[in-house]
Amino acid sequence: MANTPASDNSLVMSRDPGSTNDIAVDGGFEDGKTHQFNEQTNYVPQRAIITIFLACATVDLLALMDQTMLATSLYIIGNALGSTAQVSWIASGYFITSTVGQLMYGRLSDIWSRKIILLMGLAIFFIGSLASSLAGSVLQLTIFRAFTGIGGGGLMTVAQLIVSDVVPLRERGKYQGILGAVVAIANGIGPVVGGALSSSSEDSWRWIFRMQLPLTLLTTLCVLFFMPLKTVQGDWKLKLKAVDFLGIFLALAGMTVVILGLTWGGKEYAWNSTQVISTLSIGTAVSIAFMLWQWKGPKYPLIPLHMFKSKIVNGACLTMAINGWNFVMQVYYIPSFYQLVYGYSATKAGAMLLPITLLQTASSTLSGLVVHWIGRYRECILFGWLCWAVGLGLMSTLDENTGVDKQIGYSVLIGIGVGNTLQPALIATQAGVDRCDMAVVTSFRNFVRNLGATLGLAVCGTVLNNVLAGSLSSLNLNSRDSNTLLGNPQSFLDTVAPDEAERIRSVLIPAYRQGFRIIFLIGAGAASLAFVLAFVLMPQVNLTRPDDSRLKEEGRTVYEEKRSKGYDARHTCFGVEGNELWALEYPVSLQARVQMQTIGHQW
């Protein structure tokens, strides 16, 4: 298919092979014509999928390692920079911007193409990591991490979209499942690597961010040379016109203020304080304005509200909020539970997450394969929520006399639950909408999961602090010591006399045990609710679409044509649509020459 000549004010649009759902927008600024942005489905052969998949795996690993390495190092960094009081904002700044950014990446990748948006995210991530490695204060590091989050928030989402673009719906399970295993591995090794890097010397924490620089460059090269993806045709002016800038502003403002209020609640300020009530009220009002604008305003909304007509989408979003709540709660509180109730060292407490991580890895991969083999996701999702609810319920029964066998066994159930609810639910979500809405529903699903995580941490932290505050009143500590004990109990106990520390522990440990018991019971109840929601709102649908065979054949044909041209250095190595590098089996040096010669045309 040849390119159609275009004027400056029109969008080139010949229906690409495999495109079944093009998205219409207004055309030129003067001619009034209507044009279309092509949908990016591109089912490629197995050998091309492998290279694309490996590149997506490096993107996921980069994004997760960045977050998990920092998690165990915050107080070390705070001490090095001379301020531990505000150190939690280093993580919160990244989390807020990355969560809000996920709303935008799906639609922006529809307009500008997956590869361009992914490269933009990697560039922001690189600059933010470089700046973070040079930070001289907690405030600077918080600002730089917030900037990094703008890029980091879209990395995993766009990687999921790319896999979904090149693999038919039924076959996505095995690839998305393995990506889920990569996530679990990063969650397992990230804290260990971060702790090792940050504790070797006073300034060694900077290597957490320095290490991201070569990894980001490597990932960028993988994206450039091993992702033969479709581009979105058209004039950049039309693409710019299609971006919902007002929607982006309202989403950023509303969600940032809401998440800020949830982060403050029960920690910085009381839930009934003016600061928390005002931020939540303002954020909610702006968020409502955003949804009204999405309903009536843009022709190309960030969140097309018609997708909520799908029962599966509603069920997936509700259950993913619970997934985020429980997942972050257990990653954050289970190690603390083992440290404070059992007296485990930080290393051993972190190691107690390994059963969850290993079983999440195995079950994520296996559930993806099951979806591929039998074409059903419903049973995996229900089984996962059942295991998760039972595992957290049993976890609430642990006390200082419970053996290691039960500690590990209950964690195994939790890990199986996590692995079976993540990737099959993603397949279900994408099955509930047309291809043209796949990107926006995926990014919204990820956004809701992070929002649930924020709410879960806020509520669980408040519950735990309330239980502790009631018990610690008998110790007659002053306000400053009480706050220090609540914020970092082990550090406080290290500063007092042994007899006093033992007296405090005699009150603290039962209080923590009761607080953790309530938190785990809340998680079990939430998982049980998710089971009911999934049962009612997430029916099984056919994962084989009528045009899958045709699209696979067209994709194979186009791939072979581009591959045959790739062996001839006289060709530009670009596809018939024009703007996309197809890096295949020819030498890297040739790839580099082609890239340099045509980079201006590509972007």
Query: In this predicted model, what pLDDT tens digit does every residue of 187-203 receive, in sequence order?
Result: 777 777 777 777 777 78
19 domain residue, yes or no: no
**The pLDDT of residue 565:** 65
3-state secondary structure of 26: strand
| Last residue in a domain, options 201, 222, 240 | 240
Whether residue 31 lies inside any domain: the answer is: no
Query: Hey, which residues does 26 pair with through a beta bridge?
Result: 34
Total count of domains within the chain: 4
Q: What's the pLDDT at 25? A: 43
Q: Do 400 and 415 belong together in one domain? A: yes
The b/e string for 317-333 (b: 16+ C-beta within 10 A; e otherwise) is: bbbbbbbbbbbbbbbbb
Of 317, 255, 310, nearest in space to 445 by CA: 317
Q: What is the CATH number of the domain that holds 62?
A: 1.20.1250.20
Residue 383: the pLDDT is 97
Question: Per-residue confidence at 397, pLDDT binned at 50, 70, 90?
Answer: very high
Domain boundary among 205, 221, 240: 240
Q: Are residues 598 and 527 in the same domain?
A: no
For residues 108 and 131, membership in a common domain is answered with yes
Single-letter amino acid code for the residue at 558? V
Residue 24 located in a structural domain: no
| Distances, alpha carbon 31 to alpha carbons 22, 35, 318, in Å | 21, 11, 44
Q: Indicate if 69 and 205 belong to the same structural domain.
A: yes
**Once rounded to an integer, what is the mean pLDDT over residues 572-576?**
39
Residues 575 and 517 in one domain: no
Indicate whether 159 and 100 sit together in one domain.
yes
Please provide the DSSP assignment of 529-554 as one string. HHHHHHHHH--------TTHHHHHHH
Candidates 94, 95, 110, 109; CA nearest to 39 is 110
320: in domain: yes
Do 341 and 289 share a domain, yes or no?
no
Q: Which domain holds residue 114?
A: 38-240
Rounded alpha-carbon distances, angstroms, from residue 3 to 6, 113, 172, 474, 566: 9, 17, 31, 78, 19
Tokens at 261, concatenated: 């209020």
- Domain assignment of residue 27, yes or no: no
Residue 527: pLDDT above 80? yes
SS3 of residue 114 by DSSP: helix
Residue 189 counted as domain residue: yes
Whether residues 163 and 283 share a domain: the answer is no
pLDDT tens digits along 132-149: 999 988 889 999 999 999
pLDDT of residue 118: 92
Give the closest residue to 92 by CA, choosing from 77, 118, 76, 70: 70
Contact 420, 367 (CB under 8 A): yes
Question: Are 397 and 369 found together in one domain?
Answer: yes
**Same domain as 496, residue 355:** yes
Look at residues 240, 260, 277 and tell me which one is the last residue of a structural domain: 240
Q: Which of 1-10, 30-39, 378-387 has the highest mean pLDDT?
A: 378-387
Q: Is the pLDDT of residue 88 over 80?
A: no
Are residues 81 and 188 both part of a single domain?
A: yes
Count of H-run helices and E-run strands, the chain: 22, 2
- Helix-helix angle 138-166:438-472, to 10 degrees: 140
Report, as an integer, the average pLDDT of 207-218: 90
Q: Is residue 22 part of a domain?
A: no
Q: In terms of domains, do 518 and 596 share one?
A: no
Q: pTM, whole model, 2 decimals?
A: 0.81
Tell me whether residue 359 is in a domain: yes
What b/e sequence results for 386-397 when a residue is b if at least 16 CB atoms lie within 10 Å of its CB, and e otherwise? Answer: bbbbbbbbbbbe
